[in-house]
């Protein structure tokens, strides 16, 4: 492999890794948001049941 090819290969690999990490981060944030909204939803449900 020529040095130039090797460099482009490396940067491509870095981009790939970066993209995967970004996806994981997005998924993590999405998961957290769903978790929080579920908790809020159930909390609201409990409050309503207590009032009635």
**Domain residue ranges in the chain:** 28-52
pLDDT in tens, the chain (52 residues): 577 787 788 888 888 888 888 899 999 999 999 999 999 999 999 988 887 6
Q: How far apart (Å, rounded) are the C-alpha atoms in residues 38 and 33? A: 8
Sheet strands (E) in 1-52: none
Place of tokens 């449900």: 45
First to last CA, the chain: 74
Q: Is the pTM for the entire model greater than 0.85? A: no
């Amino acid at each position: 492999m020529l040095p130039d090819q090797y460099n482009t290969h490396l940067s491509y690999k870095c981009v790939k890794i970066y993209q995967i990490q970004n996806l994981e981060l997005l998924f993590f944030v999405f998961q957290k948001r769903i978790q929080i909204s579920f908790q809020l939803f159930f909390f609201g449900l409990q409050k309503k049941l207590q009032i009635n």
